[in-house]
Amino acid sequence: MATFRVALTFYHSKIYKNGYCEYRLLTLTIMSVALTILTGMFLLTNEEAQGMALDSTKNTYKILKGLWEKITESECSNEYPDLIEFKEAGIYIGSKNSGEFTIWDTGSYEIISGNSIKISTANDAEIKYTFFVDKGNLTFTDGNNCKFVYEKR
């Protein structure tokens, strides 16, 4: 930005003598060029960031894929399935060993960011959860701060 100010000052003293209108036009041209350059820099950075996010998300989908068994036995985790299978294309199937109702029966999931996932529930609501995968364990935290862990089978 400092380069543009120096150039503007130099051209200002030269062109101002020829009239105010030319100075105004030059100012707008320089500002337009600066804006174009800054916009191009932002878009490149934004595309690179999106590419990195997509790569990270693809890897996370691969890590989630497969059958998981819940190893947490807590009252708050009772509504979640004992077994859940994450498939490609954002589909999951959950079940209870007892055949009882589970909030995650069959539906879709979408990884929103590195540790945030949106899962459709039995009543078709889409709810966000935080999650992380570590050493074959998949840990979820729901909106009520209930943490429950699944182990890869």
CATH number for the domain spanning 146: value is 2.40.128.270
Q: What is the pLDDT, as a whole number, of residue 30? A: 59
**Ramachandran class of 29: left when φ > 0, alpha when ψ lies in -120 to 50, beta otherwise:** alpha
Handedness of CA 60, 145, 134, 108 (dihedral sign): negative
| Lowest mean pLDDT, pick from 25-34, 35-44, 76-85, 139-148 | 35-44
* Domain end among 61, 88, 109: 61
> Average pLDDT of the chain?
77
Contacts 24+ apart (CB under 8 A), 31-35: 31/4, 33/4, 34/1, 34/4
**Does residue 41 share a domain with residue 17?**
yes
Q: What is the pLDDT of residues 84-137, one digit of tens each?
A: 999 988 999 999 999 999 999 999 999 998 899 999 999 999 999 999 999 999
**Does residue 79 share a domain with residue 46?**
no
Q: Which SS3 state, helix, strand or coil, does residue 82 take? A: coil
Q: Which SS3 state, helix, strand or coil, does residue 104 take? A: coil
Q: What are phi and psi of 38, to 5 degrees?
A: -65, -40
Bridge partner residues of 86 (DSSP): 66, 92
Alpha carbons 71 and 5: distance in angstroms, whole number: 64
- In the chain, the amino acid numbered 135 is K
Q: What is the pLDDT, as a whole number, of residue 22? A: 53
How many domains are there within the chain?
Answer: 2
Q: What is the pLDDT of residues 32-53, one digit of tens each?
A: 555 455 444 444 344 443 333 3
* Domain end among 17, 46, 61: 61
Using only C-alpha atoms, what is the Rg of the chain?
27
Q: How far is CA 84 from CA 97, 115, 130, 142, 152, in A?
A: 11, 18, 16, 16, 10
